[in-house]
Amino acid sequence: MAALQVRNPMKGWAWGLFLLVLAAWLQIGGLNALLPFRLDFILLVVVCFGVLRGPREGLIFGLIAGSLEGGLTGSFYFLAFMVAKAVVGFLAGKLRPFLYHHGGGVIMTMVAVSTLLQETLLGLCFISSGLAVGEHLNRYLLPLILIHSLVAPLLFRATRPLLRLKVIRP
């Protein structure tokens, strides 16, 4: 069983925060306005960071990412974004050993489940406030899961060297 060791933890966090700001810029910027569905670049970065750094750091990074997303969108559901991203980051970190042993292809399934989990948590929050979310889930959820699953392996392979992880063989 290969063990993971972080070469320089602060450098990994610096790259992670840089990728988070870049993802927020892409998500809030005009790119999502051009597409027929909303890509959640922040979710993809949270999943990759959680997988690469573990559950505790994934949870902290998810809280930071959720607060950034809630703050930038000016949403009333600030806490819902924080909780959804924190749960996703934590679960991605918990599945880290499984993902490394079975290769990068499993990240597609992890991102699909994370997307479904986040949209379900946000949907429950919206339903409790009286907003209709049925059309959103029916019209956007399946394409969103598919696109996130296709983009995730590319992002995962690109972020792995940036976060300075290496596999140490016993």
- Residue 159's nearest CA partner among 169, 149, 148, 151 is 151
User: If you ran DSSP here, which 8-state letter would residue 3 be given?
Assistant: E
pTM (2 decimals)?
A: 0.78
User: If you ran DSSP here, which 8-state letter would residue 168 be given?
Assistant: E
Domain carrying residue 71:
3-168
CA distance 28 to 73: 7
* 42 touches 69 (CB < 8 A): yes
Give mean pLDDT, residues 51-70: 89
- Residue 102's pLDDT band, with cuts at 50, 70 and 90, is low
User: Helices (DSSP H) in the chain: which residue ranges?
Assistant: 9-28, 31-34, 41-53, 55-73, 78-94, 96-102, 106-128, 134-136, 142-162
* 112 touches 105 (CB < 8 A): no
Which pair of structure tokens corresponds to residue 86? 């924190």
CA distance 46 to 156: 11
pLDDT score of 65 more than 90:
yes
- Split into its structural domains, the chain has a count of 1
- Residue 69 belongs to domain with CATH number: 1.10.1760.20
pLDDT score of 8 more than 80:
no
pLDDT digits (tens, 9 = 90+) for 135-162: 666 667 777 788 888 888 777 777 777 6
